[in-house]
């Protein structure tokens, strides 16, 4: 199973990518072109939380099936380090020191020894999300940042994903969605999720610049 594409995971990750691009387009329009968009409104906050949760859920599910989790985690953390460097050069006062990629990469490392908990990861994930100490984020936000997703409580969603993945694909070999006509497109988007994440903002900014430069 670890060597196969799981259609429902690809679908969820592809939805998360589209939602991410929509959110960051709104962010760019607000930040650089003064559009009247309230990204702190309840509607946008729910949109953001769903987007991030889908990414973390899919990461947990994929990590449970991965044959090379350490290599995957290293790739993610390397990309996270590049994001930290790039945003520090852009603005040392608000650079990203623990964003979504940092959270996912560290979460993948933590899931390696926890993989043996199997479905019990669902329970552990719920505890991390709901337990009172989750109100004390780790790591703590030491200063303003453009993107901040602390390992606690967000790692709890990855744990839930890992537990669900073990139950569905390892223990019971349940495939929820069979191959469809659009399967290659969904797989293409999901397979290159990291590349899309790393490049979509420069592309968006360039497209908006060309649009407004007319």
Return the domain boundaries, the chain. Answer: 7-212
Closest alpha carbon to 96 in 150, 140, 153, 148: 148
Going by the DSSP 8-state scheme, the letter that residue 166 receives in this structure is I
E strand or H helix at 82: helix 69-90
Stated pTM of the model: 0.92
- What backbone phi and psi angles, to 5 degrees, belong to 98? -155, 75
Give the count of alpha carbons within 13 A of 45, CB side only.
3
pLDDT in tens, 186-205: 778 888 999 999 999 999 99
Range of weakest confidence among 25-34, 73-82, 185-194 = 185-194
Tell me the per-residue pLDDT of 105-136, one tens digit each, with 9 for 90 and over: 999 999 999 999 999 999 999 999 988 666 66
């Amino acid at each position: 199973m670890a060597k196969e594409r799981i259609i429902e995971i690809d679908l969820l990750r592809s939805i998360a990518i589209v939602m991410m691009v929509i959110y960051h387009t709104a962010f760019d329009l607000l930040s650089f072109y003064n559009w009247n968009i309230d990204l702190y409104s309840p509607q946008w906050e729910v949109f953001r939380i769903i987007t991030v949760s889908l990414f973390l859920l899919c990461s947990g599910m994929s990590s449970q099936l991965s044959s090379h989790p350490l290599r995957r985690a290293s790739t993610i953390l390397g990309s996270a380090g590049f994001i930290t460097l790039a945003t520090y050069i852009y603005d040392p006062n608000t650079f990203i020191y623990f964003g979504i990629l940092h959270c996912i990469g560290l979460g993948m490392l933590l899931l390696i020894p926890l993989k043996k908990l199997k479905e019990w990861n669902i329970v552990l994930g719920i505890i991390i999300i709901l337990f009172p100490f989750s109100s004390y984020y780790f790591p703590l936000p030491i200063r303003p940042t453009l993107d901040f997703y602390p390992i606690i409580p967000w790692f709890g969603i990855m744990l839930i994903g890992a537990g669900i993945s073990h139950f569905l694909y390892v223990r019971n070999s349940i495939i929820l969605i069979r191959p469809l006509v659009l399967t290659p497109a969904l797989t293409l988007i999901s397979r290159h999720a990291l590349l899309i994440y790393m490049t979509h903002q420069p592309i968006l900014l360039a497209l908006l610049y060309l649009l407004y430069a007319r």
